[in-house]
C-alpha cells in the first residue's frame, strides 16, 4: 500500500492534525467510525467556525449597520471584517464587489434576474454547458422566458469535457456565458480563464459557478477576468445559508437590484426610491450575520492550513480511489477529464445507486447517490444517477480503502 506514488504525498500531509479540528468526525454511524465522503454536497465545519458563530450570538448579537449602540457597531465590524477576508481570498479589487447571499443558488438567481433585465432582448442567447447544476440552468431558463431569449448548451464529450474549446458556440447574439468552474458530478475543471477571455473579446458577460472550485483550488477573480463569480460557504467548511456573488464593480453598478426592502435603499418616498451603494444595493433585509462571520472564519481556517498541501492531498485521494474502484467488476467512472477536483462518480452494472448508498451507510460510509441536481447530464450518459464519493482534506487513504471494501461487500450482497 505505501509503495503507491500518491501515498507518499498523502503521508506528507498531516490529515490527522486537520481531522482534530472537526468534532463530527469522531462520531460512529451504525456502530462504525464515520467515513464522510459527501463533501461535494456539504463539508464539515471546524471548531473555529462553530465557535466564531456561537461567540457572535453569545456576546455581540445585534443587527448590523446604522445602529449607534455598542453591540451593533461590534456586529457590523465583525461582518465587514469577514467581507474583507473574502475579498482577499478571491483577490477582488474592492470589498464592495463581494455581495453576500444565501448561497450559490441565490447568487445565480440574482445574476440571472438582474442580467436578464439589463441585457436580454428577444432573440438574444444565453450559453451554458452540458454539465451544469440545475441552479445554473433553471434561473437562465426563467430569464430567457421572461425576455424572449434562447438558452443554448455547449455539449460535452464522453470523458466529461467541453466539446472543442467551448467558445466555438459563441454567436453574434450571445449576451451571457454562464458555466461551472468545476462540475459537482464529474469533477471536471473547465478552462475558465480561456472561456472568459474569449467571451470578453466579444463583449459577452461571464458568470462562473464556483461552488465546487473555491473549496479545492485558489481562485483569483482578477486573473480569471470574469464579470460574476458565485459560491457557497457550506462547501468550504463554512456554515449553510451563506454564499457570495463576486462582481466586477463596473458590472454591478449597471445591474438593477434583485430583491428590495430594507438596507438596499438610499432614499424612499411613495413616488420614487433610490438605491444604496455597493454592496448594499444587492443585500436587502437583515443578513445572515452569524453565517457571514462563520464564512470569514472558514476562509481564515483554510489559509492557516496550507491550501496547496490540502489540494495536493485531495488529488492523491482521488487518484487512489479511482484506481482502486476500477478494480471492481462492472464499475464505471462517470467523468474522466484530464483535470478534476476530488470527485469520483460511478455506476456498477446490475446495482442501483440508492441500494448501494444505503448499504454503504450501514457500514458507516456517507456518500451521495442520485442525479446530483444534474439531470440533463445524466441523460447525456444514459443513466439515472451515480454513487458519488467526494473528498476533503480531513479524509484519508485508509478511508478510501474502507470505501472500496464496503462497495465490494455491498455488491456481493446485491448481485
What's the chain's average pLDDT?
95
The stretch 386-410 carries a mean pLDDT of 98
The per-residue pLDDT for 196 is 97
Give 293-341 pLDDT, tens digit per residue. Answer: 999 999 999 999 999 999 999 999 999 999 999 999 999 999 999 999 9
Q: Is 373 tagged catalytic?
A: yes
Give 5-31 pLDDT, tens digit per residue. Answer: 344 444 468 999 999 999 999 999 999
Rounded to whole angstroms, how far apart are CA atoms 16 and 340? 24
The stretch 130-148 carries a mean pLDDT of 98
| In contact, 187 and 211? CB cutoff 8 Å | no
pLDDT band at 2 (very low <50, low <70, confident <90, very high): very low
For residue 1, pLDDT beyond 90: no
Rounded to whole angstroms, how far apart are CA atoms 182 and 374? 13
Q: Three-state DSSP class for 307? A: helix
Q: Cell 441585457 sits at which residue? A: 119
| In contact, 211 and 238? CB cutoff 8 Å | no
| In contact, 338 and 161? CB cutoff 8 Å | yes
Q: How far is CA 182 from CA 79, 130, 145, 264, in A?
A: 28, 12, 27, 32
The stretch 22-51 carries a mean pLDDT of 98
- Active-site hit among 20, 373, 378, 383: 373
The per-residue pLDDT for 165 is 67
Rounded to whole angstroms, how far apart are CA atoms 174 and 200? 11
Total residue count of the chain as it appears in this document = 415
Predicted structure pTM score: 0.96
Q: Three-state DSSP class for 372? A: coil
Give 158-186 pLDDT, tens digit per residue. Answer: 999 999 766 789 999 999 999 999 999 99
Domains of the chain with CATH codes: 5-33+307-414 (3.90.1150.10), 50-303 (3.40.640.10)
Count other C-beta atoms under 10 Å from residue 235's C-beta: 26
Instruction: Give the sign of the dihedral formed by CA 243, CA 227, CA 178, CA 312.
Output: negative
The stretch 143-156 carries a mean pLDDT of 98
pLDDT band at 3 (very low <50, low <70, confident <90, very high): very low
The per-residue pLDDT for 134 is 98
| In contact, 353 and 370? CB cutoff 8 Å | yes
For residue 280, pLDDT beyond 70: yes
Q: Three-state DSSP class for 210? A: coil
The per-residue pLDDT for 415 is 86
- Which among 233, 234, 210 is positioned nearest to 221, based on CA atoms? 210
For residue 121, pLDDT beyond 60: yes
Rounded to whole angstroms, how far apart are CA atoms 104 and 288? 14
Amino acid at each position: 500500500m505505501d509503495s503507491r506514488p500518491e501515498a507518499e504525498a498523502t503521508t506528507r500531509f498531516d490529515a490527522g492534525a486537520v481531522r482534530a479540528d472537526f468534532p463530527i468526525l469522531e462520531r460512529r454511524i451504525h456502530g462504525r467510525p464515520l467515513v464522510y465522503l459527501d463533501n461535494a454536497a456539504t463539508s464539515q465545519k471546524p471548531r473555529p467556525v462553530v465557535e466564531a458563530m456561537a461567540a457572535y450570538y453569545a456576546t455581540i448579537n445585534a443587527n448590523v449597520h446604522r445602529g449607534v449602540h455598542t453591540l451593533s457597531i461590534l456586529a457590523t465590524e465583525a461582518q465587514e471584517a469577514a467581507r474583507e477576508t473574502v475579498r482577499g481570498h478571491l483577490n477582488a479589487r474592492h470589498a464592495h464587489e463581494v455581495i453576500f447571499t444565501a448561497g450559490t443558488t441565490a447568487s445565480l438567481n440574482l445574476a440571472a434576474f438582474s442580467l436578464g433585465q439589463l441585457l436580454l432582448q428577444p432573440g438574444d442567447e444565453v450559453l451554458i454547458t452540458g454539465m451544469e447544476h440545475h441552479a445554473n440552468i433553471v434561473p437562465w431558463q426563467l430569464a430567457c422566458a421572461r425576455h424572449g431569449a434562447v438558452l443554448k448548451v455547449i455539449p460535452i464529450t464522453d470523458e466529461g469535457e467541453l466539446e472543442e474549446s467551448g467558445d466555438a458556440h459563441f454567436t453574434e447574439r450571445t449576451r451571457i456565458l454562464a458555466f461551472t468552474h468545476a462540475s459537482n458530478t464529474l469533477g471536471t475543471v473547465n478552462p475558465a480563464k480561456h472561456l472568459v477571455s474569449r467571451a470578453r473579446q466579444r463583449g459577452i458577460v461571464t458568470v462562473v459557478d464556483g461552488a465546487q472550485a473555491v473549496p479545492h483550488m485558489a481562485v483569483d477573480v482578477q486573473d480569471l477576468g470574469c464579470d460574476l463569480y458565485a459560491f457557497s460557504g457550506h462547501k468550504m467548511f463554512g456554515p449553510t445559508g451563506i454564499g457570495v456573488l463576486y462582481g466586477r464593480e463596473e458590472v454591478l453598478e449597471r445591474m438593477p437590484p434583485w430583491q428590495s426592502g430594507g438596507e438596499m435603499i438610499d432614499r424612499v418616498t411613495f413616488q420614487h426610491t433610490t438605491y444604496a451603494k455597493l454592496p448594499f444595493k444587492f443585500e436587502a433585509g437583515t443578513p445572515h450575520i452569524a453565517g457571514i462571520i462563520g464564512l470569514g472564519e472558514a476562509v481564515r481556517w483554510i489559509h492557516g492550513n496550507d491550501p496547496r498541501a490540502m489540494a495536493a492531498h485531495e488529488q492523491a485521494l482521488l487518484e487512489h480511489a479511482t484506481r482502486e474502484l476500477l478494480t471492481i467488476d462492472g464499475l464505471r467512472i462517470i467523468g474522466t477529464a484530464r483535470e478534476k477536483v476530488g470527485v469520483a462518480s460511478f455506476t456498477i452494472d446490475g446495482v442501483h445507486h440508492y441500494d448501494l448508498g444505503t448499504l454503504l451507510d450501514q457500514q458507516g460510509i456517507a456518500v451521495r447517490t442520485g442525479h446530483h441536481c444534474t439531470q440533463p447530464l445524466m441523460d447525456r450518459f444514459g443513466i439515472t444517477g451515480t454513487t458519488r464519493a467526494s473528498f476533503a482534506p480531513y479524509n484519508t487513504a485508509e478511508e478510501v480503502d474502507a470505501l472500496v471494501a464496503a462497495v465490494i461487500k455491498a455488491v456481493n450482497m446485491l448481485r
